[in-house]
Amino acid sequence: MRGKISSIVVTGNGTNCEVEMAHACRLAGFDRVDIVHISELLCGKVRLDDYHFLNLPGGFLDGDDLGSAKAAANRILHARVAGREEHLFDQFSRFIGDGKLILGVCNGFQLLVKLGMLPGFGGDYTTQTVTLSYNDSGRFEDRWVWLRVNGLSPCVFTKDIERLYLPVRHGEGKFIAKDEEILERLHREDRIVVQYSHEDGLVPTMDYPANPNGAEDAIAGICSETGRIFGLMPHPEAYSHRTNHPRWTREDLPEEGMGLALFKNAAKFLRSSEF
Amino acid sequence: MAHRIEIGLKEGIRDALGEKIKRRIVEHLRIPVDRVRTVDVYTLDGDLDTESLDRAARGPLSDPVIQTAAIDRGLAPAGSFGWLIEVGYRPGVTDNVGKTAREAIGLLLGKRGDQAVPVYTSRQYLITAVRDRCSLDVLTRADAEKIATNLLANELIERFEIVDGKTWNPDRGIAPYVPHVTGTDSPRVGLVDLDVADAELQRISADGMLALTLQEMKIIRDYLRDPAVRSEREEVGLTGQATDAELECLAQTWSEHCKHKIFNAVITYREGMKPAEKIESLFDTYIKGSTQKIRAGLGADDWLLSVFTDNAGVVRFNDDWSLVFKVETHNSPSALDPYGGALTGIVGVNRDPFGTGRGARLIFNTDVFCFAPPDYDKPLPRRILHPRRIYEGVREGVEHGGNKSGIPTVNGCLVFDERYLGKPLVYCGTGGIMPARIGGRPSHLKEILPGDLVVMTGGRIGKDGIHGATFSSEELHEGSPVTAVQIGDPITQKKMTDFLLKARDLDLYRCITDNGAGGLSSSVGETARLSGGCEIDLEKAPLKYAGLNPWEILISESQERMTLAVDPARIDAFLALARKMDVEATVLGRYTDSGKFHVRYGERTVAFLDMDFLHAGLPPMQLEAVWTPPSHPEPDFATPGNLGDALKKMLSRLNLCSKESVVRQYDHEVQGGSVVKPLVGAANDGPGDAAVIRPLLDSFAGIIVSNGICPRYGDIDAYAMAACALDEALRNAIAVGGNLKRIAVLDNFCWCDPVQSEKTPDGEYKLAQLVRANKALYEYTTAFGVPCISGKDSMKNDYMIGDVKISIPPTLLFSALGVMEDVRKAVTMDAKGPGDLVYVLGKTRRELGGSEWFAMHGFIGNGVPQVRIGEAKALYEALSGAIDRGLVASCHDCSDGGLGAALAETAFAGAFGLEVSLRDVPAEGCEREDDLLFSESASRFVVTVAPRFRKAFEKAMKNCAAARIGVVTEQPLLRVEGFSGKMAIEEPIAGLKAAWQRTLSF
């Protein structure tokens, strides 16, 4: 162990899963977990640099009014940090450059994608090449889904996990790549970390509702080249205890929820890293 | 000049919204169209160069992966559609997307706040019908207009433009339209002479939309005539004439909506030959009276902290935390604009627990909607929207309000009855949690000291929501004001609540309340009672646009605002935190102990009223109630030959069927503490009886939320309706693991006008229904020991235009809040495994009056279900004990559709069969199999128990009507043996489930 590991959970402007995300971080063993309102970052009081794990939780940033997380991406790109010669985006870039971990869930994933941080091909973290758009059903849906985990992906969060059962709660989760080439590259580089699947099969599916939104190639989450930035639509923080499971009253389940493994992997990775 | 940026999806990208609209055009309007594409339009009201416009279009406004943009020209290519309909807001209507776009573009171009260019949004629908391949013009302009008015635009708040695809020239596009509010900047104070004849007083009230009675107008006249009052008024520059602000303020404060005049009236109640009974306030006598009695009985175990005095009720959760709960309705606005009305309803009720005590963090929503059937196919009376449109609009409004606020919608229900055509009922409830003490003081108490500052935070004030309180105190009529309709903004509210929770924990304010009905006049007027007066300056209030007169600022119900009392020593810290978190906060004045409600606009006094007069100047109404029990024809249909088919028909009825399509669209899991979800069972689609959540993630203590509502019984006797609604809420809570000792309820009365008048010739009967419901409330809450902690009433749920009058059935909703020590003991309703034993708890009687079974055959009947308190209470206590000991595998309450529905649901939710015998069901007087299957007797459950717990369970239930009627089977069949030993029902559970799921699966 090389010192304390700390986690920041950013909130504000419509984010609403910060409490359970912070709870998951604590259960995973982070030494310090702070829920930080974005105004604290913008006024320069808190800096991302002081943390190792950046959590971007679910919610409705700015109401998703201009398309999910669009206005928030605009803010991170263009809002200045008071008292410093930098935009918030510069802190994000430094965070990535330092090899630290970022997890974006649902609205947080949408934010990473709209900023261009995911998939971030060739170290370009500013060009948007994929998107998350309206579900084919045209509606917001809350339902639990099975996810097939790609064991070959470099994602540090999903190490040693084969499959996941988690809830999706979104209206704009349909993954679309800009073109065939982008999609092909995502496959080739094993950036596709989780795909919607049927319970039994470990095969990705386009069938509704197992694939709840019509995502291309059933993509539910992707990671960066290093595997240190990971975004997914389903909510791992929503399954931290067996009583979160929709059928806990009828199935034998381990006490610990499946979603927690992602946060534990993050902690484990950071404990073995040096910053 | 204004510019337009149009954003649309690239060719080949699926337009899910367009497809949804297309489906609605085809299915609801029956106009065959083939394709609808949507285009988002941003109108920027200011001079911007091409580069700036381009940056905005490519930056925050569009998604480069799937969208394209057109600037100052039409995006749709020529000849690409049949008709274009563009829908935008009318001036002054809240445009949330426009507001976000303005901020984003401002940030992008380096212009903050008011410097940023205003942005207005609209949406284009490009509609094409290609029935024959050669022409695009199979749709007529009349079709397009019908689509615009009946589906896309609500003309109260929106305008639309229709363009024929044949004449569409993208280079010309559509000229920018800016929905400015054109107001003057010279605020006026109107003076009204009330020293006039009675008829004139009545005219003043009616013309001013004041909803004040002649008697009330006379009271105001007499107050102003008082020489002492007059001389004080002269000192502040007023005369004996009332100002418009004063009249409006009194009208709000004294409205039925705010003052609950009917619940506080002196009522003479007559019933048959019994001597007349005089009731001084239904509220004091029955509701408060019951809670007082229960609290007295609890003594040291009293777990109630604040009841009836604040915006919501407060009870103890544990030593460190308190729970807050409130349910309200937003019926009248939802009738006019279902989306905006319901959205405002949910974000509005959010502010009640948020504005209770020192302020609570919001942890759950629960919603109950009462609609006319969505397949209603008779002609619609004027100004009434189709029930399906109301259903979709309300559903979506509550979806956006709840989901975007990050509050899980954990439980609810839908009730259908044709009489909700005139006004739908939209019950929205919200619970919260707060630390038991903040800054060393109990958090549930409110305190204001003279000298504390009056501070308003959150949104700005516009003309929206003016007369909301008075409007909902009347029936929906021809002149119902458009301004009463408004659209909530959950994100502005979320930003505000994020800020205020921080301010609360830093102890930066002393008191908090919300701005709801009556706006500042209510929020400041009410809280000023704590210090004994106030003096505020409306000129300081931030406005959305110029042109508001002082009275409008005072009573506007613009959303997302809280009023606070802040110690002057902490105001700098408070305002600094607000600035940092980008929330507007403004000091409007001071709380005083002057005894006056003093309102200025700049230096000029615009209202000066005695606090006592404002709040206690109104004598109670005197009303008459006469109870004559109705008598309905007794049904005369035979027991159907095929009860299996009958069961399927029952399961597919609107009031019984699955509401999954609605439930899924509400986030019921955000905040991470969901334990029993609204959908349970093997395939996550069975009907959960009540919600269980864990509000504190590091603890297993939980909260139960359930509802009870049964308006059909009121057609026979509102007494039985009230008793059964309470019983339903309680048995739902008990079914998941609740305990009577830790359940509190809210009562929510929605009535049709019960005041005898020319408009309401049956007012005395309707009032008698209200009295009887209250009597039942008192009897049963005290007997169960379950207190009401807060509630609400909405008394004018009628529609009256021309000679058409539609009144809702009197409707009483009980919402229950239970506390559970350990959520890991919670039980769900789905059968768990083959071999488990099936029990029916509670006696079934021939009580089919008002039942779904009778309704399906076109009858009401008379034998309405009665709650037998002794049986019910003993059963609930025994069952709570059995669940607590882990003896119960599944538990489902019997309500609409009776035992038949409960058995079917237990089976198909668990994906197992049941084999049961009707002969073993504890029953009394049920001579027919259909009586037994579909009677809606209260206080019953279907329970399954693992064989190893059989003895222990039967022992636990030994003093109750409880019987083992069969077993859970692997074979997926519901097999019900009839009285003769012959199979009365033998149905595959898949078929039962399909019937149950079909009706509302759109």
pLDDT digit string, tens, across residues B143-195: 999 999 999 998 888 899 999 999 999 999 999 999 887 766 678 899 999 99
Instruction: Kindly calculate the radius of gyration of chain A based on its CA atoms and give it in whole angstroms.
Output: 17
- Per the model's pLDDT, the better-predicted residue between B90 and B893 turns out to be B893
Facing residues of A33 across strands? A7
- In tens, the pLDDT along B921-949 reads 999 999 999 999 999 999 999 999 999 99
Using DSSP's 3-state secondary structure scheme, residue B816 falls into: strand
Chain A residues touching residue B403 (CB < 8 angstroms): 60, 140, 169
Segment B488-517 shows an average pLDDT of 92
Asked whether the predicted pLDDT for residue B136 surpasses 60, the reply is no
- Per the model's pLDDT, the better-predicted residue between B212 and B476 turns out to be B212
Check residue B477 and give its pLDDT: 65
Check residue A1 and give its pLDDT: 44
Mean pLDDT for chain A overall = 95
Chain A residues touching residue B494 (CB < 8 angstroms): 13-14, 16
Check residue B568 and give its pLDDT: 97
Asked whether the predicted pLDDT for residue A199 surpasses 90, the reply is no
The identity of residue B365, as a single letter, is: N
A204: number of Cβ within 10 Å: 21
**Extended beta strands in A99-246, E state:** 101-105, 130-133, 141-149, 163-170, 174-177, 192-197, 219-223, 229-232
A43–B580 CB contact, under 8 Å: yes
- In tens, the pLDDT along B114-123 reads 889 999 999 9
- In tens, the pLDDT along A189-198 reads 999 999 999 9
pTM of the model: 0.95
Check residue B559 and give its pLDDT: 86
ipTM of the complex: 0.96
Per the listing, tokens 């450059």 go with A97
Using DSSP's 3-state secondary structure scheme, residue B470 falls into: helix
- In tens, the pLDDT along B289-340 reads 999 999 999 999 999 999 998 999 999 999 999 999 999 998 888 888 899 8
Check residue B974 and give its pLDDT: 98
To the nearest whole Å, the CA of B772 is away from the closest chain A CA by 41
DSSP percent split of chain A into helix, strand, coil, nearest 5: 30, 25, 45
Check residue B183 and give its pLDDT: 67
Segment B592-602 shows an average pLDDT of 96
Tell me if residue B330 is catalytic.
yes
- In tens, the pLDDT along A236-259 reads 999 999 999 999 999 999 999 999
Q: Note whether B350 and B770 are within 8 A (CB).
A: no
Facing residues of B604 across strands? B601
Check residue B720 and give its pLDDT: 98
Strand order in the sheet with B691-693: B674-676, B691-693, B702-709, B811-820, B743-750, B788-794
Segment A126-137 shows an average pLDDT of 96
> For residues B861 and B943, what is the distance between their CA atoms, to the nearest angstrom?
29
- Per the model's pLDDT, the better-predicted residue between A273 and B55 turns out to be B55
Per the listing, tokens 């010279």 go with B186
**Which residues have C-beta within 8 Å of that of residue B948, sequence separation ≥ 6?**
none
Chain B residue whose CA is closest to A139: B665
Segment B356-377 shows an average pLDDT of 96
Chain A residue whose CA is closest to B674: A244
Asked whether the predicted pLDDT for residue B9 surpasses 80, the reply is yes
B670 → closest Cβ in A17, A23, A78? A17
Mean pLDDT for chain B overall = 93
Chain B residue whose CA is closest to A15: B406
> For residues B325 and B440, what is the distance between their CA atoms, to the nearest angstrom?
23
B14 → closest Cβ in A136, A142, A250? A136
On the 0-12 / 13-18 / 19+ scale of CB atoms within 10 A, B698 is exposed
How many A×B Cβ pairs under 8 Å? 187
Query: Model confidence at B627, in pLDDT bands (50, 70, 90)?
Result: very high
Chain B residues touching residue A19 (CB < 8 angstroms): 671-672, 697
> For residues A40 and A81, what is the distance between their CA atoms, to the nearest angstrom?
10
Check residue B211 and give its pLDDT: 83
- In tens, the pLDDT along B652-696 reads 999 999 999 999 999 999 999 999 999 999 999 999 999 999 999
A26: number of Cβ within 10 Å: 17
To the nearest whole Å, the CA of A274 is away from the closest chain B CA by 31
Alpha carbon B635 to its chain centroid, in Å, reads 35
Query: Model confidence at B478, in pLDDT bands (50, 70, 90)?
Result: low
